[in-house]
């Protein structure tokens, strides 16, 4: 048993939480769109072809914004292919995922789906095979209210009012050798700056995200951010971070240190952005859009790529990146969410990549059911319970030794506050030891002038940490109440089993 001691002081504020931190990501990739959210003829599909059972699950998940249409896909995408009469839209070869894109779903259809799920659109423009002019065309089509050729066309396509998209990504992963139109940092920075300036001339209210590194392990990480921001600092609001995690070689304890990697990634990018600000003698703070993050089993244990789309021909909606998540994955996933909240002062937007079928919390079967993967639960509960303000909860619980990061805290936690109460999110990273958790609430009780009570508690833990939800057993893993959680002598007391994630709501 590990003794975990902590203190929750409502004045130890990190920042107000931007709800866009609970964003998602939908890409034209595999069965995400087709046979995922969109399946005409399915018993649960409406007249528009979108599955209502999937809509209900996405609403339950609680995603605030959704980044679209990519991802690698966007670097070869002609957005005009996705507007106008569906039967007149061209079929195209998607080089990113070696598939055939039918363009049955485009901007109008996706915006209508977002209205159904209650999320806002975060749009990416193609700066891979296209440039500033095409980005301006899309922005004018989406946001302009003046009568122009593009807005006349938008009205003719059934949407006379602007889509009013606020947040725009200036390309995707332009540091990556795999990216169509890949450029070095200097060339990309110049293009992003030109495009950003032009977009602001058309719509001064847009918020712009410039591409950061597609991973902390990229050879150009650090130098890429510095060079790109030297070009774009005055033009953009955010720089992106992308990071994926997986268990390697059966080393679950090392996998459970993934949140430390995310922490170091965020803090490094913040330091670089602030250094650029200092050289420009500016008080401006560039925020982080962590607009791709998840657990993704991209590589096998030998370092080879698991899915190889180029070996499948040019199919429509092939099964790609359909990872099956187990309980261990969900605990790491919950810890990543805690890490994002711990950096809410600079992480003002984040996008879980992705939502349906493709490395996703939601799975579907063509003509069949939809179900929740294990990672669904930490996201849906955190997005529902998280309040207005993030608060530090430093925990003293000892450490374990990580090959990459040295000594890593066994227990990690964060809290949020709002007018109605406090939500605590905590993870036990140890593979062997339960944690005897005691959190001093005396500062909170003094602030409120009255006692607090536990109104709900949840824990995700399985004795078999590789248990998963599948088509055959969709409810094998779930959330259960955290037993024996109580308030005792102005302290929150609970026991967390090894490899567990928990959420506790106090009122």
User: 3-class DSSP state for residue 48?
Assistant: coil
> Alpha-carbon distance 234 to 204, whole Å?
13
Reading the block at residue 51, the tokens are 């599955």
| 320, burial (CB in 10 Å: exposed 0-12, middle 13-18, buried 19+) | buried
> Alpha-carbon distance 447 to 424, whole Å?
17
Q: Which residues contact 343 (CB under 8 A, 6 or more apart)?
A: 14, 263, 266, 267, 270, 288
Contact 137, 129 (CB under 8 A): no
Q: Which one of 80, 140, 173, 254 is the catalytic residue?
A: 173
Contact 492, 421 (CB under 8 A): no
Contact 238, 207 (CB under 8 A): yes
Reading the block at residue 65, the tokens are 């914004």
User: 3-class DSSP state for residue 119?
Assistant: coil
Reading the block at residue 357, the tokens are 């079928």
**Percent of the chain as helix, strand, coil, to the nearest 5:** 30, 25, 45
Contact 191, 235 (CB under 8 A): no
> Alpha-carbon distance 292 to 358, whole Å?
13
User: 3-class DSSP state for residue 506?
Assistant: strand
Q: Which one of 109, 247, 292, 462 is the catalytic residue?
A: 292
Which of 326, 338, 327, 254 is CA-nearest to residue 293? 338
What is the 8-class DSSP label of residue 361? S
Which of 142, 206, 137 is CA-nearest to residue 169? 206
Contact 124, 169 (CB under 8 A): yes
The verdict on whether 292 is a catalytic residue reads yes
> From the DSSP assignment, how many helices (H) and strands (E) are in the chain?
11, 25
User: 3-class DSSP state for residue 408?
Assistant: strand
Q: Which residues are catalytic?
A: 173, 292
């Amino acid at each position: 048993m590990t003794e975990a001691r902590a203190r929750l002081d409502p004045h130890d504020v990190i920042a107000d939480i931007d709800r866009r931190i609970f964003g998602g990501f939908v890409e034209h990739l595999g069965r995400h769109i087709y046979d995922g959210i969109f399946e005409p003829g399915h018993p649960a599909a409406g007249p528009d072809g979108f599955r209502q059972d999937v809509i209900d699950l996405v609403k339950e998940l609680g995603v605030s914004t959704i980044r679209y249409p990519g991802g690698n896909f966007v670097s070869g995408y002609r957005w005009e292919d996705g507007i106008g009469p569906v039967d007149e839209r061209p079929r195209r070869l998607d080089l990113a995922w070696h598939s055939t894109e039918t363009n049955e779903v485009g901007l109008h259809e996706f915006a209508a789906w977002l209205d159904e799920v209650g999320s806002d659109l975060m749009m990416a423009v193609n700066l891979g095979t296209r440039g500033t002019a095409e980005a301006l065309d899309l922005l004018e089509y989406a946001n302009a209210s003046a009568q122009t050729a593009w807005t006349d066309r938008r009205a003719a396509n059934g949407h006379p009012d602007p889509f009013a998209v606020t947040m725009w990504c200036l390309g995707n992963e332009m540091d990556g050798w795999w990216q169509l139109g890949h450029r070095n940092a200097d060339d990309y920075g110049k293009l992003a700056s030109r495009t950003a300036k032009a977009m602001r001339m058309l719509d001064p209210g847009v918020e712009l995200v410039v591409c950061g590194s597609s991973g902390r392990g990229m050879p150009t990480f650090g130098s890429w951010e510095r060079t790109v921001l030297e070009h774009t600092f005055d033009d953009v609001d955010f720089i992106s971070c992308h990071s994926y995690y997986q268990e390697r070689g059966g080393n679950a304890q090392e996998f459970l240190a993934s949140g430390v990697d995310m922490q170091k990634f965020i803090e490094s990018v913040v330091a670089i952005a602030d250094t650029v600000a200092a050289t420009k003698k500016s008080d401006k703070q560039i925020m982080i859009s962590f607009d791709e993050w998840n657990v993704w089993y991209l590589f096998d244990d030998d370092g080879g790529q698991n899915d190889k789309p180029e070996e499948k021909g040019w199919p429509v909606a092939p099964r790609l990146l359909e990872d099956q998540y187990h309980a261990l994955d969900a605990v790491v996933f919950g810890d990543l969410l805690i890490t994002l909240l711990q950096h809410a002062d600079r992480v003002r937007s984040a996008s879980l990549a992705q939502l349906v079928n493709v490395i996703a919390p939601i799975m579907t079967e063509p003509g069949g059911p939809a179900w929740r993967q294990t990672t669904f639960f930490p996201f849906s509960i955190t997005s529902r319970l998280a309040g207005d303000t993030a608060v530090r909860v430093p925990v003293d619980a000892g450490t374990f030794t990580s090959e990459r990061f040295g000594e890593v805290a066994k227990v990690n936690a964060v809290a949020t506050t709002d007018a109605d109460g406090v939500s605590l999110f905590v993870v036990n990273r140890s593979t062997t030891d339960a944690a005897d958790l005691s959190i001093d609430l005396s500062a909170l009780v003094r602030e409120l002038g009255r006692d607090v009570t536990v109104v709900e508690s949840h824990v995700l833990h399985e004795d078999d940490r590789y248990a998963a939800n599948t088509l055959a057993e969709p409810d094998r893993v779930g959330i259960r109440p955290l037993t024996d959680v109580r308030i005792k002598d102005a302290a929150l007391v609970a026991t967390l089993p090894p490899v567990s994630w928990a959420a506790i709501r106090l009122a």
